[in-house]
Amino acid sequence: MSDEQSLLTLCQSIAGSAADGEGIEAYATRSRETDIDVFAGEIESLSVAGSSGIGIRVIANQRQGFAWAGSLDADVVADTLQEARDNARYSEPDEHYGLVDLATAQQFDRPDLMLWDSRLEAVDLETKIEYALELDKRVRGADARIRNVESTNYGDGLVESALASSMGIAATNRRTIASASAVAIAGDADDTQTGYGFSVGRAFEDLDADVILAMAVERSTRLLGAQQPPGRRIAVIFDPMVTASFLGVLSSAFNGESMLKGRSLFLDRIGESVAANCVTLTDDPTDAQSLGAAPYDAEGVACRSNPLIVNGVLQTFLHNSYTARRANTATTGSAVRGGYRSTPGVGVRSLRLVSGALDPIELVAGYGEVLYVQAVHGLHSGTNAISGDFSVGAEGIMMRDGGYQEPVREITIASTLPKMLHAIVGIGNDVTYLPGGTVGVSVLMNEMTMSGA
């Protein structure tokens, strides 16, 4: 029996123990991971590990309880089911609690996604070690200004999971991921800057060391000599990774749970213009190339592409079955969970903006001076998806006269999420699949407040 089938058998046996009037859902995962860190030309740590765990949700008398365990041992699993039942007794009844029925789960066809690349299983440890050591060496020697490498990493994972419920849901999934990255430290007489480069895919063969090298070198060296500029209002262009961070902050505004609790920026705005006309934003887990791709959601409902903003107009909120029942609408297949340790919440999997035809340099032509934002800091503290405030630390490069000019540091850029969405005047062609699942692309906004000296 394959691994995910044995997980399914376990989940089904738990779900099958449901008493009359009781609903049980079990989700189990098993994963194998390799993680290699290189420092100063040597393997600093090499970790090989297997993990497994289970999360059990019980709904009885309209009350819900949950428990998880990082073990599939029979005694622990039995305790976990008992704890979930006990937790249900103490929660308050809510008519909207419920497990998804088969008709809802199968209303859409599950996208046929190839997320497992069996080649990864065949790569031996020595090959991975050599790859990491070689990458470290190459970054070190890539440019005279690279003074050191802060860290070089190789990681991969093979993850199998199963989901079963007493409503008849039965699903399995498996996926692979391989990634490598390096943080270069560039230095000259009086400055030090770091730059991150990465490559990610479903198989070891997908990794491209040249890309990592070029990215880490460019991002560290081009900031050397950065100064704090005087503050002013200025057009900004976000690097694809910064755009991903921006979309990450914005994502909770589309969350059906936030909406129901009155915590969404977009409350009562469906059908209205919430962004510039050039903005079309989709949550699309059906593109196998995205690291956020998935055939079904955390409740077993088929995933589909959900348009969120089309030509600036807000289309929908995202729902799992619970928030859909409360909002009197249908689930959008957007139930997510942070592994076996949490109940299905609502979330995005793979946000992407419809890209344009121009690269960043072509995009800013005609805008005089533009701040190219390479990285932002303090997102958690400086942004608030409820109030819409957005004020973060940043570093980047001034763009003028058709090219990149002097680097800048110790600045903050500030605006509000609604203003930023309306300030978007251009979207680039540099589509980048990022490790977090978001698909990044350069975005030009015609005004933000930059504070500096």
- Using CB under 8 A as the binding rule, the residues of this chain from 250 to 269 that contact other proteins are 261-263
Cα–Cα distance for residue pair 29/199, rounded to 1 Å: 25
- Using CB under 8 A as the binding rule, the residues of this chain from 394 to 453 that contact other proteins are 409-416, 449, 451-453
For other proteins, give the closer residue by CB, 264 or 438: 264
Minimum CB distance to other proteins, residue 42 (Å): 5
Task: Pick one of 13, 61, 107, 228: the residue that binds other proteins (CB under 8 A).
Answer: 228
Minimum CB distance to other proteins, residue 67 (Å): 4
- Using CB under 8 A as the binding rule, the residues of this chain from 69 to 88 that contact other proteins are 69-73, 76, 79-80, 83-84, 86-88
Minimum CB distance to other proteins, residue 302 (Å): 26
Nearest-5° angle of CA 340, CA 343, CA 348? Answer: 95
**DSSP string of 154-192?**
EEEEEEEEEEEETTS-EEEEEEEEEEEEEEEEEEETTEE
Minimum CB distance to other proteins, residue 228 (Å): 7
Distances from the Cα of 135 to the Cα of 39, 117, 145, 202, 386, angstroms:
11, 23, 17, 19, 42
Q: What angle do the packed helices 125-140 and 209-221 form, to 10 degrees?
A: 30
Q: Among all chains, which residue has been given the structure tokens 């990082």?
A: 70
Show Cβ contacts of residue 78 under 8 Å, excluding neighbours closer than 6 positions.
Answer: none
- Using CB under 8 A as the binding rule, the residues of this chain from 285 to 324 that contact other proteins are none
Backbone angles phi, psi at 300, to 5 degrees: 90, 5
Task: Pick one of 3, 6, 22, 94: the residue that binds other proteins (CB under 8 A).
Answer: 94
For other proteins, give the closer residue by CB, 212 or 260: 260
Minimum CB distance to other proteins, residue 297 (Å): 19
Structure tokens at 44: 């600093």
Q: In what order do the strands lie in the sheet with 281-283?
A: 313-314, 306-310, 281-283, 351-353, 439-440, 432-433
Task: Pick one of 382, 398, 400, 432: the residue that binds other proteins (CB under 8 A).
Answer: 382
Scanning 37-45, 101-109, 292-300, 328-336 for contacts with other proteins by CB under 8 A, the matching segment is 37-45
Task: Pick one of 27, 68, 116, 198: the residue that binds other proteins (CB under 8 A).
Answer: 68
Tell me which amino acid residue 346 is: V
Task: Pick one of 23, 65, 295, 344: the residue that binds other proteins (CB under 8 A).
Answer: 65
For other proteins, give the closer residue by CB, 273 or 384: 384
Minimum CB distance to other proteins, residue 282 (Å): 26
Spatial CA neighbour of 152 closest among 35, 33, 38: 38
Task: Pick one of 393, 432, 435, 447: the residue that binds other proteins (CB under 8 A).
Answer: 393
Neighbouring CB atoms inside 10 A of 312's CB total 18
For other proteins, give the closer residue by CB, 128 or 304: 128
String of contacts with other proteins for each residue 169-208, x by CB under 8 A = ----------------x------xxx--------------
Task: Pick one of 16, 17, 19, 49: the residue that binds other proteins (CB under 8 A).
Answer: 49
* Site size toward other proteins, by CB under 8 A: 80
Minimum CB distance to other proteins, residue 25 (Å): 14
Minimum CB distance to other proteins, residue 68 (Å): 5
Task: Pick one of 19, 48, 357, 365: the residue that binds other proteins (CB under 8 A).
Answer: 48
Q: Does residue number 62 form part of the binding site for other proteins (CB under 8 A)?
A: no
Q: What angle do the packed helices 74-90 and 3-15 form, to 10 degrees?
A: 40
Distances from the Cα of 370 to the Cα of 246, 401, 441, angstroms:
18, 10, 17
Kindly state the helix (H) or strand (E) to which residue 268 belongs, with its residue range. none
Minimum CB distance to other proteins, residue 213 (Å): 20
Backbone angles phi, psi at 150, to 5 degrees: -65, -45
Q: Does residue number 31 form part of the binding site for other proteins (CB under 8 A)?
A: no
- Using CB under 8 A as the binding rule, the residues of this chain from 325 to 364 that contact other proteins are 341-343
Minimum CB distance to other proteins, residue 91 (Å): 5
Q: Does residue number 380 form part of the binding site for other proteins (CB under 8 A)?
A: yes
Spatial CA neighbour of 140 closest among 243, 209, 68: 209
For other proteins, give the closer residue by CB, 56 or 113: 56
Q: Give the start-end residues of each E strand in 1-41.
A: 22-39
For other proteins, give the closer residue by CB, 73 or 359: 73
